Each structure stands twice: as structure tokens, then as C-alpha cells.
A and B are shown apart, each in its own frame.
Chain A
Amino acid sequence: MKKILTLVGTLVFAAHCTAGVAVIVNPANTNALDQKEISKIFFSKTKSFPDGSQAVPIALEEGSATTEQFNSNVLHRKAAQLKAYWSKLMFTGKGQPPRAVADGEMLELIANNPNMIGYIDEAKVTGAVKVVATF
């Protein structure tokens, strides 16, 4: 019995760890976004969605598992590489890294702002936001 419980626990833990990252926008946002487009927005290489409306990226806090997953799967960068990238922009007046928030605030911000785009653990997505891609 003990072995079965351990196995179940391991499987549950593994399932949790492999949950994807959902890139979320406001339900009113009708843009189709792929990895390249999302990456451009989060690298501040564009400040607009494909339809021309303003795009404001929001990140989860640095060091969170979901952020690391997003950085790796979408931006293809490690945390230190992103820190270096943003330090080049922020000390030269060219840009600021995305505002970093906690899970709850992320959902609230995206649900209430048509111009914002963020990401969250796939398991935490609610009906108040729209998933445009999963990684």
C-alpha cells in the first residue's frame, strides 16, 4: 500500500511539473499569436499586437517555476541571459523589463486590460482570460 501511495504521489508530482505554460490575453483580444510574435512582445522588439493595438507584456515573478518554463520554452533564454538583455536596454533608455506580478494579480490584470499579455501555469487558467498558446 505504501508503495502504491508513493507511486501515485510521484505521478501526481510529475504531472504537476509537466503542466504547460499558458500565454493569456484578455478575452476581447482577437489576435492570433505564435511563439515568434509572443517572443517579440516580451523582448520589447515590438510594442503592438498584429492588429496594431498596444501590447503590454506582464511577467510572473523572477525565479518562479512558471517563469523559468516560459523563459526556456518561449524566449529560449536562461534567467541570467534575460537579465543581461534587459540591463542593456534599461540603462540606455531603450526599454524596461515587463512588470512582474504574482499569479493572482496576473489573472486580474489580464482579465481587466485588453492591451495586456501574460502567462500562467496552465492549471491556473480561469474563464476570465483567454489562452492564445500553450508551451
Chain B
Amino acid sequence: MTHRESSTDKKGIGDSSLRKKGIGELKGWLYLLPAILFLGIFMVYPLIDVFIYSFEEGYNSASQTYMGTGGYNYSYVLHDPYFLQAVKNTFILVMITVPLSTGIALLISVGLSFIKPLKNLFQTIYFLPYVTNTLAVGLVFMILFKKTPYSDGLINLLIGWFGGNSIDFIDGPYWAKMFVLCVYTIWVVLPFKILILTSALSSVNQDYYNAARVDGTSRLRTFIRITLPMISPMIFYLVITGFIGAFKAYSDAVALFGTDLNAAEMNTIVGYIYDMLYGDSGGYPSYASAAAIILFAIILTITCINLLVSKRKVHH
């Protein structure tokens, strides 16, 4: 390589630098090639394709033919009771878990910021759910909440101690099932939020607190007037990513209620997409595509609203 370059040097400086530049150009793209190939095949092409699929009516995945183009897939999905159930479940899940998990994470991180001994131990424990397999630990939640003929399960035992009646949270009434799903979702998403808020809190400039202490400001007032505005960008970041994540909820529900989520009335939008694609009710990539695009539109809308609100409220 270097040998060849030096031999071209003899011809003339201009020529060699031009050729070197040409090789450099190519080299850059060569290093990028694997990434471009993978992204092209598994991201850019599918992105275009999903829109095409969603407008192809009566697509047959066996013969790869379709009857026409139009908005029928969207209208089918929007009138499908399973989809409407999935949308309802997903919205309830989002509206309950996002504010609750962010609030609890804030309380815990503030608590952590007040203490010194054992802080590391607590942080390590709180982070554990992040590194566990959602499907596997979901089974533990299932047996904790499940009521079988052999046993009422642990949670019902606790409810009994406080004088309540036992409920089957896994195969029982709708609200009981939604309750477990929310509890498990919050348990799963908290580690990330606590981690982000703890590091945001620790980066607030200590001078502000010292100034507040000199002024004799109470702890609560300090928190509302200083801490909260300082970490508000991070809170909004968590709210936005929380909304996006919760709208894509799926494996938590599978872990608790099994793969047939429609039968359990606990399906989510993402679950609906996968059911349409594959499994006993699958084979309809067109419906799945339409549902995926509707989901994307919902997420985009909510994110835009969040950004607008945050622009007005967040202290930068």
C-alpha cells in the first residue's frame, strides 16, 4: 500500500494527492458499508415497506399478491373490537403507570439524596429489576397474585390480614388484572427512572442549597423552589420516554397473562400487531402494518404534546 503510494509520488504531487483522496473517499464508505447494509435491509427498507403494506388490500402472504390499494386495512383495524380493547388497555396502562412511576421514582431519589450510609446498597437493590428477564420475573408476580383452588396466593393472604376478600388477579375481574399489570409495569420501569433522577439530583449545584440554608429556607420550600426546577428537564425526559415505553407495553402483559392476550382481555396495541402478524390469529401483515402506523401516529402526537407542554413549563 505505502509502496504503491510512493511510486505514484514520482509522477507528480497533484496526481498523487488526488488519487489518495480518491482512495480515502472509498475507504470511508468501505468502513461504513456493513452498518449501511444492515440498516438498509433491516431498517430503511422495512420503514418504506410498512407503509406500502398498510395500503395493500387483501394481501395474501402465501402467494404475495394483493387485490387493490386503499384505506381498508386502517378501517378494518379501527373497527376491530380486539384493537379497540387493546387501545383502551394501553391508554389506561399509560395514564396510570407514567405519572405514578415518575412520582415514586422522584420520592425515592429525593430520599436517596438525603442519606449517606447504605446509599450504594439501596441503589444497587433498586436497580436489580432492570437486569432481570421480564418474562421470567413476570411468572413470579403471577404466582404471587394468582388464586388457585390449592391456594389463595400471597397477595390474597395479605389482603385477608387486612380484612379484605380474596380476588383472582390473574383470571378474575378486569380491574384486578389491570391492577397487577400496572403494579408489574411500575416495578419494571422504576430502576431506570430512579437512576436518572438520582444522577440529576446529585448534579444540582450544592451552592444553591447552601444559600437556601443560610436564608433559613425550609426543606420543602427548598425542594419546590430550587431542586424541582433544576431537575425539571430530566423529569420531562422521563415523562416523554415513559409515555413512549408504556405505549409499547407488551412483554409485561404476556409474562402475567400468557400469550393469548385477547382471551384475557389484556391485549396491548403492540400485542395486537404481533397477533396479526403471527400465531393462531396471524398471517395478516397488512393489518399489522396499519396498526403499527396508527401506534406510531399516537406516539408521535403524544410526544409532540409533551414537548409543547415542556417548553412552557420546564426551566432550562
- A pairs with B: no
